[in-house]
Structures are given as structure tokens and as C-alpha cells.
Amino acid sequence: MKILIFAILIYLSAFANVNLIKHENKDSNTTLLVIGGIHGDEPGGYFSASILASHYTITSKNLWVVPNLNKDSVQRNSRGLRGDMNRKFAPNVKVDKDTQTVNEIKNIILNKQVSLVLNLHDGHGFYRTKNQGRIFNPNAWGQTCVIDQCKLNKKQEFGDLNNIALKVKEKMNKRLIKHHHSFNVRNTNTKFDDEAMQLSLTYFAVTNNKPAFAIETSKNLTSLSQKVFYQLMAIEEFMNIMGIHYKRNFELNIKNISKVILDYGKLEINNAIIINLTNIRKNLSYFPLQYNRNVFRFSHPLGSVRKMQDKYIVYIGNKVVTSLYPQYFEYAKNCPKKYNFEVDGVKKTFKKTSDIFVNNDFKILDEKSIRVNIIGFSAKGKKNESGIDIAYSSMVKRFSINKDKKSFRIEFYKNNKFCSMQMVHFK
């Protein structure tokens, strides 16, 4: 899919815990803030926010996205490792390990540029105004646009919460996958009727005169793709109401969403390794890492790493993508930034973390003071595997980096210190 780039995309580092992604234009201060992952067991919300951040281009006005507010809970697929984060927004709430994250997102919400806030959730059942059974009833939260009250200050733009929610509901109910997926508006009338919701993110927003809505897709939908489909539909309707123009690099349907969800992007490690996480093996052994201070950078907004005992677990959202079992090395200084190859008989030069695609065979040309180790290949009596013609038939397939057994690691060392890694892919 062709990626369209028009707006400015900025990853802010000013916040210690909150990953705020901005798509900005200079034509207006109108800004939609979308927040996913306040509950770590509601993947429809945070995968939707992630796709919005990485697959949409905003061509007028502004979009800010926090894809995974409660990062630790998202990793563990837990509603809240330290209790419900969405009940920690009142001023008198007990201080705990979530407090810094809550304070950071409060400051973002209160930013004068933020015009409207969406908090994305997956809720149980299918909301109905009348009781129609265990799943379809007034106590369900799924398939709703939730508001805390009908209106804000009359002068507040987008302050008619009920009318906006009804417009979104009407549009969404014209594009249902199945009839019983219908959306409704749920007004919690928080100030008078719901003490628990008085502690929530959206109520904090509206009490500060910021229009805020929760979008709840149903946990009873049959697939993550369906949840993401409805979340993105709702977000697009809010953008339409706000006059935010956008483009996305895929057609909005279940088939395409399923593909986008499985595109895990790339992981860069220590500015010396880049691996493609899509279709990667579940475990990678003897992976060259530093003893400490490893830096992991993901192209996917939901990428994260957790060190546990003897391995580094790599996540995309709540999904364990792979585990790296390290072999610790000191990283060398002043290593080459490029390496010379002969690929299918043609001499080529590749940057130190390149992907190299091969039809028949390849050879790494001799590099002074650099030792080459091709994972999955063994040359008897040789510690340095440069200068050798290598075909796919020579590779031990169980050492491949991906599930289709076509991609392998090439590691470069200087004086037994690690330099960098390239990937060779046989077609």
C-alpha cells in the first residue's frame, strides 16, 4: 500500500510516560485528541489508535494520538496492573505508580489547542435501552458513544455533546456489518448519577469545558478487526464533524484492517540492528545485545519490550511477537557504515543495517579487521565467513529469522566486539 505523506508527523519526547503522536497543519488550531489503551485488555481501542497514528494523513487541521496510555497493562492484557487508571482523574485520588501518567495526559487534555477528546474502549455486551437478555441490555457498554452530560458551555465549540453523539450514531448505523451491531448513545449523567464515572478521564475533560466522548465497541464482536472497523468509522465521523480532512492508505473494510493489524513494522536496536517483526520467529537465540542500556525503537506505535529473566519479550500491543535470548557483547566503535557484497554475480554496497535480497547466491567481500558470522551457515575451519559464495541450499533453515525460512542474520564483529547486523532474504 502506498503511504501518503502530507502533514507534519511529530513524536514528542517531552513526556516521560505518554507517547503523544502529532499530525499537524498550520491552517487551524482545531485539534482532535484520540486516546487508546487506558485499559490494557481492550485492544480494539489501542489498535485503532495505532492505525490512526500510522496509516492516516491529516491534510487540514490537527490530530493528536496517544495510542497506548497504560503501556504496562497493554503488554499484560490487563485492565489495570495497578487498578483502573480510568478511575484516577479526580483531584483527591491516592498517589500511586499511575499518577505521573495520569498527570501527563491531564496536561495534554488541558492544552488550549485540544478541541475535542475521544477515549477508546471495548465494552461488554451490546447496549440497549430495554432489557433483551444477558448480552443486550441497559447495563451493557458495547457499541455506544458515551457522554457524561448533554451540553457544555454554550460558547464552547463542539459543546453540544448529545447532538454530536447522535450524528455519529446515525452515520455508523448505516454501515453495520451485522444488524445487531447497532450503535447507540449512552448518557451516564455523571454529575448526578454515576460516582465511579466522576473519577474518569472524560469527566475530567468536560468539567474543564473540554468536549469529550468515549467510544465503546463490543467485546462480544467476533474479531479484533471488527472492533477496529467500528472504532475507525466513529473517529472518522468525529473528524468529519470537526472539519478535519484526512486520507488513509487502505480502504476501510474488514479484509484490509486484518492485514494492517498484522503488519508489525520494524524494530531498530542500538542503531546497529533492524529487524522486520512481521512473520518473525517466536524465539531468536544468541541475539547480540549490550549488557545494559539497550535502545529499542519501533516503527509501530504499539511496540514495546519487557525484560524478563533471560530474555527480552517484544510486544505489539498485547501481542507477544518474539522473544530475544541475548548473547551479550560490548559494541565496537568506529565500525564500517557500509559493506561490499557480490549478489547474484553483481558487486553492490549496502549500509550497515540493510535488507539484502538474493535470487541465487551472495558473497561478502573481504573487509580488513572485520569478522563475518552468517547465522545458519558454517564453513569448517573458518571463523570469518567473508569471501565465500553462499546459496540458499547451504543454509540451515532452523536458524532463519522468519517463519518462511527465507531470511537470515549476517553479523559483523571487530576485535570480538559487535558492530552491526544485516539481513539476507532469499527469494
Q: What are the tens digits of pLDDT across the range 71-81?
A: 999 999 999 99
Report the DSSP beta bridge partners of residue 63. 23, 32
- Dump pLDDT digits (tens) for 218-274: 999 999 999 999 999 999 999 999 999 999 999 999 999 999 999 999 999 999 999
Tell me the average pLDDT of the chain. Answer: 95
- Dump pLDDT digits (tens) for 327-382: 999 999 999 999 999 999 999 999 999 999 999 999 999 878 999 999 999 988 88
Residue 6 clears pLDDT 50, i.e. is over it? no
- Percent of the chain at pLDDT > 90 equals 93
Structural element, H or E, at residue 242: helix 224-242
14: confidence class by pLDDT, cuts 50, 70, 90:
low
* Cα–Cα dist 67/216, whole Å: 16
Q: Which three cell numbers stand for residue 342?
A: 557480490
Residue 59 clears pLDDT 80, i.e. is over it? yes
For 243, other C-beta atoms within 10 Å of its C-beta total 10
* Cα–Cα dist 140/136, whole Å: 7
As a whole number, mean pLDDT of residues 172-187 equals 98
| E strands, 251-406, in order | 266-269, 273-276, 283-289, 296-298, 303-308, 311-316, 319-328, 338-343, 346-351, 355-358, 361-364, 371-374, 390-391
- Dump pLDDT digits (tens) for 274-317: 999 999 999 999 999 999 999 999 999 999 999 999 999 999 99
Greatest CA span in the chain, whole angstroms? 81
Report the DSSP beta bridge partners of residue 126. 136
Point out the least confidently predicted range of 48-57, 124-133, 182-191, 376-385: 376-385
Instruction: Give the pLDDT of residue 13.
Output: 41
Q: Are 225 and 258 in contact (CB under 8 A)?
A: yes
Instruction: Give the pLDDT of residue 23.
Output: 96
Instruction: Give the pLDDT of residue 7.
Output: 39
5: confidence class by pLDDT, cuts 50, 70, 90:
very low
Q: Are 301 and 21 in contact (CB under 8 A)?
A: yes
What is the torsional sign of CA 274, 228, 218, 221? Answer: negative
Q: Are 277 and 407 in contact (CB under 8 A)?
A: no
DSSP state, residue 81: B
> How far is C-alpha 47 from the chain's CA centre?
6
Close Cβ partners of 66 (under 8 Å, ≥ 6 residues apart): 18, 19, 20, 21, 33, 34, 35, 36, 37, 49, 105, 108
Residue 420 clears pLDDT 60, i.e. is over it? yes
- Dump pLDDT digits (tens) for 180-201: 999 999 999 999 999 999 999 9
Residue 167 clears pLDDT 80, i.e. is over it? yes
Report the DSSP beta bridge partners of residue 66. 35
- Dump pLDDT digits (tens) for 93-103: 999 999 999 99
Instruction: Give the pLDDT of residue 395.
Output: 97
Over the range 254-265, which residues count as b (16 or more CB within 10 Å of their CB) and which as e? eebbeebbebbb
Task: Kindly list the structural domains of the chain, giving each domain's residue range(s) and its CATH number in brackets, ordered by start.
Answer: 8-261 (3.40.630.10), 266-328 (no CATH), 338-426 (no CATH)
Instruction: Give the pLDDT of residue 155.
Output: 87
* Cα–Cα dist 262/253, whole Å: 15
Q: Are 69 and 35 in contact (CB under 8 A)?
A: yes
